Every structure is written in structure tokens, then in C-alpha cells.
Amino acid sequence: MLLRKACTRLLEIKDIDIRLLSLHQCRHAVDSSIHIGGAFSATIPMVSLFYGGYIHLNVEAPTKAGQDIFVLSKGHAVATLASIYADLGYFPASVLENSRSVRSILNGHPGPLLPGVHVATGPMGQGVGVAQGLALAGRRSPEFDVFALTGDGELQEGPVWEAVMFAAQKRLENLCVMVDKNNGQLDTVTNLHFPHNNLAASFASFGWRVLDVDATHYGSVMEALDTFKHGIRDGRPTVIICNATKGFGGFSDQMNQHKATLSKDILLQEELLQQQLRTEREQSFFALYRQSGNAAALLESYAKRAGLQIDSDGKVQPLHTPVRTVKAPVRNKYIPFRTEALPRLEKGKLYGAHKVVEGAMKEYARDQRVVSVDSDLASTSGLQAGVGYVDKDRALNAGVAEANMMLIGEAFAVLGANVWVSTFCPFYDWKVLRRIAVGHQERLEVIAEANGWLSEGHALDYTMLATAADLETQSNGATHMGNDDALLLNEAAFVKIINASCPQQLLGIIKWIMEGNRGIIYLRILRAPSEVIYPADFVFEFGKAYTVRESARPHACIVSSGRGIYEALEAAEQLAGLGYEVKVVDMPSIDKETILDLYNAPFKTYVVEQNNGYIANNIRKVLFEKQNTIETGRFVMLNTVKDGQLHYIHSGTYNELAESFGLKGNQIAAFIANDIP
């Protein structure tokens, strides 16, 4: 009992050191600001976790497999995280100064710019889902535990509960979520906008083990972590509800705010009072230390683990920890395959895109780095059937929870997997995608730095397989129609959009993605079977268009992608019967060089798309970027926009829908025949 009490006193001393580092960040921040309320209420749970011996980390090699992982879901507690990570040696203490500045890697919310931080967080409700995905990976060899810290305000976000349900169903007993229940939010720091009437019962009802503790004291939090880490596990994930108040541990009521700009007087006053409290805790510790007898060596060892040194003069000094993190080794992301084991597609025959995906995954999934996540639409993607044929534990299905699907996929990509997630084109969650892309960008920035903690291969390989593109959804209604998705995601940084047409082309795209280091891909595939028009030796290159019908002296050119290619080929055939030679170009990804070549060609180009004009929009961008003057008549745009007005497309058969927008082959041919000079 005495030893336990003395160890607790050491953590209480460490608590002050971490709070002082957080205040130091505020004093030297570019805006003199800090998310103080949530950072201070999170200090006891985080100090308990990182210094109590409950999380096993490899600070030297944060990406090495088998170590435990922490996710700060409530990213506004970044000050506490940064203080602890600097103290542990992930990066120098100098990083804590000038935070929030454009010249600093310490931002207002954390991301992989900071060594040791695997996930960019800030938008509420997403970190728990990523932690759940990491815990899924942590059940495989080498096994590891996953910890996440969230806030009670954050629990108002729906994706949290998507993850809560899934984690219990998957029996993720290696997952521990700590809820900083400080009963405050941004707009009101003394109570939630709407309360959790019985938070413990809510988690328990979903099959979680619930530990409800007073987080204003170290003993109860440590006991809960002991139960998770060293107790008997029964298949249930664990939630530790840490009851505290906003800004707990601070003296001034200025500490009770969400984000505060603290004056120098307040900072000085707070620092002096914290130092006084630290002295009192030292005295209390030494009263126990002098009684410890033979256990003194154990206390000294415990103190060292907490970054403290017990001096003979009655002082507990912080130890200076040098930077320990070194650059991660290069990751080989290439997924090998046997050519003879991939689907064999005959030119002129029809194949469903999902069957091509299924057949390819049966081969590629032999490599354990290939992981797929569907969202109750596996029949349209082929992923679950293909990956599950090899290993059903890597062919996941999140049910009708697209946000959670994306978060699970991100977790595996963080660990180096080649991840595929799939749902209908319009069902992807923009907020989740944007945060994933932010983390990917930060990884690329760090990889590019000579002294960055990540190296080549540590960015994300994350493919969003978007099914039923363009008019392919047909009679399912406007909410399911993918006529605007490509345009929307075209504005998302670091998202590469590919619109597949021919099954052979799709197979080539899959081969290209499996070479690794391709980043975030939004791959749109057809739902209905389509004809093979490319040869068996087709090789896909991102940013390249392909001529699928050539002409020595074309009167016109048609550019399209996806299902539109088949209508373009039909139109070209009909125009040939009228004496017009037409070139047809398939542009699955934007090819700037081909766009400029067509602009300068001696004929018009007709851009035919079964959406609101994704290629057309990029043509405008390319021309404005590359041309001094633009002759707008060089390109004619045929798509689903009506009289310049964006809209959503309602139900109908494919033929009805294509005809209603003038996008059938015969209609395209008639339009071009009347328009050719």
C-alpha cells in the first residue's frame, strides 16, 4: 500500500511538470493561446497512461510493429500530448515554443508532422474509429494494445457510436477508450449542450466493459488502467469514463475555458502556484520514501521510468531526455502477384467490374498487407469475395456505416497496408476524407524532409472503390446517383480520381495501385458488365489518356471515360457511316498534355460525360493555366448539366437516363454531325 501511494505521488509530481510544459507552450505560442480546458482535464488520464507503465512504446522507432498505439481523438488536447511526447524524447523541447506558427510543426491540433503521431485529429468523432481499426490490426501477430482519448462532447458525433458498435461486435478486447468527461464544450464550458444521461449504461448496452472513475485523482485512473492492461480479458473492449471538470488542475478560473489567450500575469501566477503545489507533493512523497526501506530502489526505478530523479537532498528533479526518435526505415509497398493467377479477359466479351476486382483480389490478397472494408455493398465491389477468399479477417464489412468504414481503412493504411474501401459513389464522407488527406499530406511533407521521422513508403495507400458511377445507379433515385461526386472530390487535395471503363483497363489500374506508394485513390467503377476494348498487355499510367479509336485525318474527336466511352465509340461508328472520321480518347485520369494537344488540333473536340462535367472542368483549369488566350469553341461539352444549372438526377433505366441527357451514341453522333464545320 505504501509503495502504491508513493508511486502515485511521483505521478502527481510528473503531473505538475507536464502542466508547466503546457503553460510554457502558451507563453511562447505565436498567438499566446492554448486549448487549456481540455488539455488540463486530460492531463491525469494521459500522465497515468504514459508514465504509469500501461502503454508500451518504442520511442526510437515509432513505426516498428508490435508496440502499443495511442490516438488522441480530442485533438484540442494537443498541448498535453506535445508536452508528454517532448518529455519522452520523440522531439526536442524547442518544438514546444512558437507553436501554431507557420514555421512550427506543432499546430493547433496534432498530426504526423509531430514525430510519433500517427493520425491527424481535430474534427470531432473520428479518432475512436481509427483506434478501433488499429485494434483490429493489433489482434494479428505481433499483437498490441490501442488506447484512445476522447471527450464527452465529442461523443455527440455519430461516427463514434458506429465504432462503438463495431468494436464490440468484433470483440476488440485490446482496445481501451478513455473518455475525458469534463462536462464542457466550446460554447459552454460548464455543461454539455445535451447531456449523456447515463454514459456508462450506453457503452455497456453495446457490449463494452465500463470502468467509471474519478479522474481528479491518480489512484482511480491507475486502477482502471491496471484492470485493462493486467486484468482478465473477456472479449469486450474497455471504456474508462474519466470524470473531471474543464480545466481541472488549474488554479485560475481562466483555465476553465475551451481555448484561451492567457496574459503574462495569469501565466506567471499559474506557474508559481503550480510550482508551490509541486514542492508540497515532493514533501509528501519523501515522507513515504523515507519509510520505504528496501522498496526505495523500486521507487527510484519507477521515478526514472516517469522521467524523474530522486535526489538525496529531498528533491524530485525532471530528467533531461535526449531526442530518441530516429528516421523510420523505408517501407516496401509493392504487392507481388503471379500474372497467370490474375483474371484473363477476352477482347470483345462482357465482364462485371466487381468480378474483375474479385478475381484480382484472390491473387493480391495472398499478401497480408492487402485489406478491404465494405459498407454493406460488397456485392457491388467484389472486395469481400476476393479478399475473403484468402483471409476473411482482412475482408471487413462495416455495415451501413460509411464513415466508420473509412476510419477502419485509414488505420490499416497507417500501418503500411494497401487498403481498399468501397461504397456507392455519393456515400463517401467528405469530412472524414478531408482529415485523412490532411494526415497523408503531413506524411508526405515529413518524408520529403532530410531529417523527418518518416521515410519513403510511410504515406497512405488508400483506395476508395466507388461503385455505380455516373448513370450506373439507374433506378435507385437521386440520393444514390453519382453525377456530382467526381467534381466534388476534384477539389480535395491529394485525392487522385480515376474513372474506369473497360474491364482490362480496370485490371491495369489495380496492378498500378498494387505497385504501392500511390496515395489516396478515388476509383470509380461501373456496375453493369462492360466490353473489353483494351489488349491484354495494357499498362495503366495515372495522368495519361488512351486513344481507343484512331483516325489519320479526323473531322472531330470525342473525349470521355467510364460508360461514356462505349457511347462515344458507338457515335464514332455511326459518324463513320456518314463520312466523318472521329477519333475517340478515353481519359480515365486527367491528361494535361493530351488536353493541350487537342486544343491545338485542327478539329473540334467533344467532351462527353455522364456526370456534371468532371473532365470539362479540368480542361478549363488546364487551359487557364497554360494558355494566354482561350478560344472556347475548341471544346464542346456534353454532360448532365441542364442549361448551366447543377442538379441531381432522378430514377430511370440506363437507356432512359442517357437518352434524357442526349448522351446515347446515336444522339452524340447526331449532335456532332450537325455541329462539325
Query: How would you class 662 by CB atoms within 10 Å of its CB: exposed for 0-12, middle for 13-18, buried for 19 or more?
Result: middle
For residue 189, the model assigns a pLDDT of 61
Q: Which residues have C-beta within 8 Å of that of residue 437, sequence separation ≥ 6?
A: 492, 493, 494, 495, 520
- Condensed to tens digits (0 to 9), the pLDDT of residues 166-213 reads 999 999 999 999 999 987 666 566 666 677 889 999 999 999 999 999
Q: Are 228 and 174 in contact (CB under 8 A)?
A: no
For residue 9, the model assigns a pLDDT of 93
Q: Are 501 and 414 in contact (CB under 8 A)?
A: no
For residue 6, the model assigns a pLDDT of 87
Query: What pTM value is reported for the model?
Result: 0.96
Instruction: Say how many C-beta atoms besides its own lie within 10 A of residue 531's C-beta.
Output: 16
- Spatial distance between the Cα atoms of 362 and 371, rounded to a whole number of angstroms: 12
End-to-end CA distance of the chain: 94
- In the CATH hierarchy, which fold is given to the domain comprising 546-675? Rossmann fold (3.40.50)
- Condensed to tens digits (0 to 9), the pLDDT of residues 57-93 reads 999 999 999 999 999 999 999 999 999 999 999 999 9
**Cell triple for 254:** 481562466
Q: Do the domains 31-262 and 546-675 sit in the same CATH topology, yes or no?
A: yes
- Spatial distance between the Cα atoms of 469 and 424, rounded to a whole number of angstroms: 8
Q: Are 285 and 306 in contact (CB under 8 A)?
A: no
- Condensed to tens digits (0 to 9), the pLDDT of residues 566-623 reads 999 999 999 999 999 999 999 999 999 999 999 999 999 999 999 999 999 999 999 9
Q: Which of 443, 383, 370, 430 is nearest to 402 (CA)?
A: 430
For residue 247, the model assigns a pLDDT of 85
Q: What is the mean pLDDT of residues 7-21?
A: 95
For residue 327, the model assigns a pLDDT of 97
What percentage of the chain exceeds 70 in pLDDT? 98
For residue 255, the model assigns a pLDDT of 67
- Condensed to tens digits (0 to 9), the pLDDT of residues 319-372 reads 989 999 999 999 999 999 999 999 999 999 999 999 999 999 999 999 999 999
When computed from its CA atoms, the radius of gyration of the chain, rounded to whole angstroms, is 29
Q: Domain-by-domain residue ranges, the chain?
A: 31-262, 339-531, 546-675
Q: Does domain 31-262 have CATH number 3.40.50.970?
A: yes
For residue 548, the model assigns a pLDDT of 97
- Spatial distance between the Cα atoms of 572 and 554, rounded to a whole number of angstroms: 10
DSSP 121-166: --STT-HHHHHHHHHHHHTSSSP--EEEEEETTGGGSHHHHHHHHH
Q: Are 233 and 173 in contact (CB under 8 A)?
A: yes
Find residue 495's DSSP bridge partners. 520
Q: What is the mean pLDDT of residues 521-537?
A: 96
Q: What is the mean pLDDT of residues 492-498?
A: 97
Rounded to 5, what percent of the chain is helix, strand, coil?
45, 15, 40
Question: Residue 261: pLDDT band by 50, 70, 90 thresholds?
Answer: confident
Q: Which of 544, 651, 540 is nearest to 595 (CA)?
A: 544
- Spatial distance between the Cα atoms of 642 and 459, rounded to a whole number of angstroms: 40
- Spatial distance between the Cα atoms of 508 and 12, rounded to a whole number of angstroms: 59
- Condensed to tens digits (0 to 9), the pLDDT of residues 438-489 reads 999 999 999 999 999 999 999 999 999 999 899 988 888 888 888 999 999 9
Q: Which amino acid is at 264?
A: K
- Residue 252 reports pLDDT greater than 80: no
**Cell triple for 414:** 497507417
- Residue 233 reports pLDDT greater than 90: yes
CATH node for 339-531:
3.40.50.970
- How far apart, in Å, are the Cα atoms of 293 and each of 10, 289, 296, 297, 304? 17, 8, 6, 9, 18
- Condensed to tens digits (0 to 9), the pLDDT of residues 360-391 reads 999 999 999 999 999 999 999 999 999 999 99
